[in-house]
Amino acid sequence: MNSTQPTLQEKIARLRASFIAQLPKRLEEAQQQLSLLKADPCMNRVAAVELHRTFHSLKGTGYSFGFNELASIAGDAEDYTQQLLDLPDESTPPGWPDQMIGLLQELASQAQILVYTDLRNDHPLQTPFFEMNEGQLGEATKQSKQRLVYICDDELEQVTHLSYQLRCFGYQVEHFTETEAFDQAVVRKRPDAVIMDVRFPQGGTAGTDALAEIQKVTGQQLPAIVLSGRDDFEARLSAVRAGCQSYFTKPAKPLELAAALDEVMSDEPFEPYRILIVDDEPEVAQYHSLILEEAGMLVHQLSRPCNVLSTLQEFRPDLVLLDVYMPECTGLELSALIRQLPEYLSLPIVYLSSETDRQKQFSAMQVGVEGFITKPVIPEELVAAVALRAERMRSLRSLMVRDSLTGLYNHTTTTELIEAALSQAKRKQESLCMVMLDLDRFKVVNDTYGHVAGDQVLLALSRILRHRLRTNDIVGRYGGEEFGILLKDVTAEVAIQLIDQLREDFSRIRFSSADKEFNCTFSAGISSFPTYTRAEELRIAADKALYQAKDKGRNQIMLDDEL
């Protein structure tokens, strides 16, 4: 059997999908036929014939594809239409027209459900991050935060599509069609953000009004975005008054909404400064450590300078606090040693010393030290000196370590981080997995739709990776369309499930450029520790597996074959 030919099952699956896609249009046509009939059941009798055929067809094809619920309702509608046809032209059957209207509405809801649910297996489209065996991910699940978004909109169709796309990005989405249900839900469980429509059946600005009410009642600002068909001054003003940060008009692009949601939820929690204290006197080190921890910093103490390099690699401090006079080596010598390594050239080093001699202090500065603090320290001064320098280092570093487009770690940093993670894993005796991920046919995307569209794809992928993986995992951009991911404390089986789910969800995102829409996929290769114990080995093995995935047709994940 030629493997490039779709199998019968695949063909049928595609036909099923087409059927569902065409449902809304067919039902709309049926709706029009019904309107004609309602207006004049006598003159427009032929509309009944059309309706009958439509229902009969929906029933038949519905059963063929296994949509029994839909087919059953269509069958009832067909019978009812038959009743109408059996009567003389001027007569209508009992229950006319409400029964027919009701049946069409039932068909419409059923169609929505089908559009909304998994087209392949009738599973709900919750894009799961943690649908895997709890036991395998265990600890990790507590680290990730699934952000909860409430969408309040009375229009079902567009919104179900939107919810699905947002779920692909890792948001948990709940949908409400009335403001009352929304109000109750907010009280029960507060979402991280809200997408609110403006107009509801009960009023032109009922949505934003409800939002304003909630802000008043709970007293807290609920991050909110408006998504509305209205684009007029009154609507926009009501949004401003309700405290909404952004205003989108329908139809909205899910990608833009996701970006706005990120901003509105002020994503990154502040990470405490990481300070390494090297001092041979433990009580002194402890004292300084306490002062800094009081100020919210993360401190690691080292009493033996000989371990400084491995500690630097694992702990990755923002700043090092060095005691100048130590038995093994002086602070000066130690900082010179640290500066031998290129990656630590700009690492802030601050001396702690009881040396009050300005001359000696000055020569210490020659080695490239950020500052000099005399013991005994004044706590506020210590904190200020450290914080200032650590912050400066962070902004500098962020320019140096992150890719400017996606905000992911750049190549060099990713490599460093992977080395660090590997030594940590060896020490803690945990497994980890390396994933090399590459967008499929990305050059074609750029050539066909332009680089702006290409950037959209890169951003979407980065977003998905950052949101769906844990904060602890390392996600980096290696090159144009190549990404390197390190998953900590997972087995290969778990990793492949995770990445495959991401692959699936990413493939369903609709990108748009001008008036064209397109999809994109990626391939990935996975290798793991302890099968490989060195970073280059891990990378090479993952790369090989990635190459295999591409070779086998792309849009798939391959595990390194040593496993």
Partner 1 sequence: MQVLVVDDDPLAGEMIAAVVEEMGHQPLLAENAPEGMEKLNAHPEIGLIISDMNIPLVNGIEFFREIREQGNTLPFILLTGDDPEAARQQESGLSACIMKDFSLDESLPGIVRDVLDGQ
Residue the block writes with tokens 């392949």: 120
In whole angstroms, how close is the CB of 43 to partner 1 at the nearest point?
A: 22
Interface segment toward partner 1; rule CB under 8 A; list 62-70, 214-222, 434-442, 518-526: 62-70
Interface segment toward partner 1; rule CB under 8 A; list 6-14, 367-375, 394-402, 513-521: 6-14
The answer for 40, left when phi > 0, alpha when psi is -120 to 50, beta otherwise, is beta
List the interface residues with partner 1, window 99-158 (CB under 8 A): none
Does residue 518 bind partner 1 (CB under 8 A)? no
Per-residue exposure over 368-385, b if at least 16 CB sit within 10 Å of its own CB, e if not: ebbbbbebebeeeebbeb
Size of the site for partner 1 (CB under 8 A): 18
**Nearer to partner 1 among residue 63 and residue 325 (C-beta):** 63
Among residues 31, 61, 92, 361, the one that binds partner 1 under rule CB under 8 A = 61
Does residue 360 bind partner 1 (CB under 8 A)? no
CA distance 338 to 353: 19
**Nearer to partner 1 among residue 19 and residue 169 (C-beta):** 19
Among residues 2, 3, 4, 8, the one that binds partner 1 under rule CB under 8 A = 8
Per-residue exposure over 315-334, b if at least 16 CB sit within 10 Å of its own CB, e if not: bebbbbbbbbebeeebbbeb
**Alpha helices (H) in 316-441, listed in sequence order:** 331-338, 358-366, 379-401, 411-428
Contacts (Cβ under 8 Å, ≥6 apart) of 434: 418, 484, 485, 486, 487, 526, 527, 528, 529, 538, 539, 541, 542
Binding mask 17-56 for partner 1 (x = CB under 8 A): -xx--x------------------------------x--x
Does residue 66 bind partner 1 (CB under 8 A)? yes
Helix/strand/coil for 557: strand
**Nearer to partner 1 among residue 22 and residue 184 (C-beta):** 22
In whole angstroms, how close is the CB of 88 to partner 1 at the nearest point?
A: 23
Contacts (Cβ under 8 Å, ≥6 apart) of 134: 141
In whole angstroms, how close is the CB of 40 to partner 1 at the nearest point?
A: 24
Interface segment toward partner 1; rule CB under 8 A; list 60-68, 124-132, 310-318, 432-440: 60-68
DSSP state of 174: E
Among residues 32, 35, 68, 109, the one that binds partner 1 under rule CB under 8 A = 68
Short-list 163, 196, 160, 165, CA closest to 181: 196
Among residues 24, 45, 60, 441, the one that binds partner 1 under rule CB under 8 A = 60
In whole angstroms, how close is the CB of 13 to partner 1 at the nearest point?
A: 11
CA distances from 312 to 278, 288, 373 (A): 11, 19, 21
**Nearer to partner 1 among residue 52 and residue 230 (C-beta):** 52
In whole angstroms, how close is the CB of 49 to partner 1 at the nearest point?
A: 10
**Nearer to partner 1 among residue 11 and residue 552 (C-beta):** 11
In whole angstroms, how close is the CB of 100 to partner 1 at the nearest point?
A: 20
Q: Distance from CA of residue 317 to its chain's centroid?
A: 28
In whole angstroms, how close is the CB of 122 to partner 1 at the nearest point?
A: 12
In whole angstroms, how close is the CB of 85 to partner 1 at the nearest point?
A: 14
Per-residue exposure over 463-472, b if at least 16 CB sit within 10 Å of its own CB, e if not: bbbbbbbbee
Interface segment toward partner 1; rule CB under 8 A; list 7-15, 303-311, 417-425, 525-533: 7-15
Contacts (Cβ under 8 Å, ≥6 apart) of 11: none
CA distance 333 to 305: 10
Does residue 65 bind partner 1 (CB under 8 A)? yes
Q: Which H helix or E strand runs over 306?
A: none
Residues making contact with partner 1 (CB under 8 A): 8, 11-12, 15, 18-19, 22, 53, 56-57, 59-61, 63-66, 68
